[in-house]
Amino acid sequence: MNAIAYLLRKTVKNEILDTLRHPLKFLLYAFVAVSMLYGAIRGYTAGDELGNSEIFSDPRLLSGAYMAVLFFISIPIMLKGLSSGTSFFSLSDVNNMFVAPVSPKRVLIYGIGRQLASMLVLVVTFAAYGGMIIRMFDVSVSQATILIVGIALMLVMVQLITLMIFCLASMHPVRARVMKYGIYAMAFFALGTVIVYSFATGISVEHIFTAISLPMLEYIPFVGWMHGLVFGMMEGDTVRMLVFGILTMITAGGSLLTLKLTKLDFYEDVLSQAESYQEFREAVREGKFSDKVMMGNKQIKLRKTGIRKGKGGAAIFYKHLLEGSRRSRFLFFNINTFVLLFVAFVIGFGIKQAKPDIEPTIIYLAAMVILAYVQFFFSASGDWVKELTKPYIYLIPDGAVKKLVMAAATGIIKPFTDGAITFAALFVLVGGHPIDAIVAALTYGSFGTMYIAANILAQRLVGIDSTGGIFITFYMSMIVLTLLPGVVIGLVVLSSFAGSFGYIAATLLGAPLMIWNMIVSAGIFIACRNLLNNTE
């Protein structure tokens, strides 16, 4: 029997059986599937009840967003292909299949095929958004279907392209470097074109929309071609459809031909990558994030050495500062800060352009809510979460509350510094009342403390050793439960005083919420101090 077919068959069968044997997992999958199906059906069948704004129904926005999605799903996979097919294989594949008498080409096709299967989930997710696309952009069901099929096709294409890249770059460092620069060039060309055009014509929503839908972007290999093919079909432009269709087919054919003609020996390349990927997968599965899995093989230059301060539980805090300075030279100012600044800029600029006479306080309110949501994703891999995975915090002879607070301290400080930087920038951009900016920053910071407190509460209730899915469900429930009263109080204050102090709406909502967050968080820290009594 063909070993690969057997492996695939058994894997699928056992995955299904395993899901059925775990009712909670099954229910979770069923819930997600039903929600997505409901969302999709509702979207495809509902009318215009949610209302369209002129900005969001602009077809140029759809074109630009679609291009961005194509880039988003293609570039990372292609780059991975260069760095020796990291995610194609698990460590069990390496240990069992690589040593088996199976052709390396078949093994590679198996790896890529499996990767493709996992990417289908992404297509299903996009399909669920089909309804939203129809409502927002006023496209027909068949056009929305073309968009989704286009994404599926791009996923297949990107795997084939990755295969070609991998065949050509494997064991040829110079070629690999050239291809890497080529892939970066594609992304930078697209981004550069949009930025240069926007600045050259004067920044406005109108010009940005024109920039993101420029026809020249469709000349970017692979991604642009797919965009051209899909939008050619949608718009009934036969020439565009044929040109980009043929280019796409040539790419697919070239990839397959390359695979046939190349003598592959990629096992050594894959080995170490598969090991670190295995660690990463396990860490994500268990909800445990270590620096090793998050940073991979990134080289760290030692500048300052030594913890230098702290005694007992406080040593944990100073250790975190040292570790933080090794992750980012500027300690609390890192990539997350840039992301927040970018999101704040988009919110501030977008709303200002759409409604120039809007009160700045509304922008602060919107930014506070959206950035707090973004922060949730950053909080998952905080220092204190990593600390719980090591035995030392449980063994250190010091008070439980002190250890807990010290372990969480960097995670508490970071959102406040991010908030200060981001809302200061927003203040420069949109103006408004300084109190509003300060309270919005503090409220944003208090969300960080609350996320940690909710995490502590969830750990206390379901146990540190609980599996990822169950924990995440509890964690999110705890966030909702702990935040909700604060939000309600904030809304009551806002509605009570909006008449007289409407120009500082962000303060009216934010101040009570911030006070609530800090008081409840402190209560949770004290109530859950026994968390560090054991690792369970």
Partner 1 sequence: MLNVSHLTKKYHRFVANQNLSFIVNDGETAVLAGPNGAGKSTAIKCIAGLLRFEGEIEICGYNNKSIEAKKILGYVPEIPAPFELLTVWEHMEFIARAYGLEDWEDKAKELMRRLELTDKKDKLGKELSKGMQQKISICCALLIQPRLVLFDEPLVGLDPHAIKELKAMLGELKAGGTTIIISTHMLESVEDIWDKVFIMMNGKIEAERTRKFVEESGENLEELFFNITEKKQTGADNT
Per-residue x/- marks for partner 1, 317-346, CB under 8 A? -xx--xx--xx-------------------
Contact between 239 and partner 1 by CB under 8 A: the answer reads no
**173 or 391, CB closer to partner 1?**
391
Binding partner 1 (rule: CB under 8 A), the pick from 138, 237, 286, 398 is 398
Nearest distance, CB of residue 418 and partner 1, angstroms? 21
**74 or 459, CB closer to partner 1?**
459
Binding partner 1 (rule: CB under 8 A), the pick from 39, 59, 350, 399 is 399
Nearest distance, CB of residue 5 and partner 1, angstroms? 34
Binding partner 1 (rule: CB under 8 A), the pick from 51, 173, 202, 391 is 391
Nearest distance, CB of residue 360 and partner 1, angstroms? 40
**135 or 403, CB closer to partner 1?**
403
Contact between 396 and partner 1 by CB under 8 A: the answer reads yes
Cβ atoms of 464 and 496 closer than 8 Å: no
**355 or 390, CB closer to partner 1?**
390
The closest of 35, 80, 532, 403 to 89, measured between CA atoms, is 80
**10 or 329, CB closer to partner 1?**
329
86 DSSP 8-state letter:
G
**165 or 274, CB closer to partner 1?**
274
Cβ atoms of 437 and 386 closer than 8 Å: no
Binding partner 1 (rule: CB under 8 A), the pick from 1, 239, 261, 395 is 395
d(CA 350, CA 413): 29
Question: What secondary structure does DSSP assign to 9-47, as a single string?
Answer: HHHHHHHHHHHHH-HHHHHHHHHHHHHHHHHHHHHHH--
Specify the DSSP element, H or E, that contains 48.
Answer: none
Angle at 66 between CA 61 and CA 70, to 5 degrees: 150
**41 or 295, CB closer to partner 1?**
295
Contact between 389 and partner 1 by CB under 8 A: the answer reads yes
Sign of CA dihedral 33, 36, 38, 41: negative
Contact between 390 and partner 1 by CB under 8 A: the answer reads yes
Binding partner 1 (rule: CB under 8 A), the pick from 26, 209, 394, 497 is 394
The residue with tokens 């006070």 is: 515
Nearest distance, CB of residue 30 and partner 1, angstroms? 25
Nearest distance, CB of residue 98 and partner 1, angstroms? 22
Cβ atoms of 388 and 459 closer than 8 Å: yes
- Give the number of other Cβ atoms within 10 Å of residue 81's Cβ: 28
Q: How many residues bind partner 1 (CB under 8 A)?
A: 36
Contact between 397 and partner 1 by CB under 8 A: the answer reads yes
**495 or 534, CB closer to partner 1?**
534
The residue with tokens 């069992």 is: 96
390 DSSP 8-state letter:
S
Per-residue x/- marks for partner 1, 280-319, CB under 8 A? ----------xxx--x----x-x--xxx--xxxxxxx-xx
Tokens of 334: 């890192």
Cβ atoms of 192 and 186 closer than 8 Å: no
Dihedral angle computed from the Cα positions of residues 503, 339, 343 and 457, in that order, rounded to the nearest 10 degrees: -60
**258 or 290, CB closer to partner 1?**
290
Sign of CA dihedral 123, 128, 131, 133: negative
The residue with tokens 């698990």 is: 90
Interface residues with partner 1 (CB under 8 A) are 290-292, 295, 300, 302, 305-307, 310-316, 318-319, 322-323, 326-327, 389-392, 394-399, 533-536
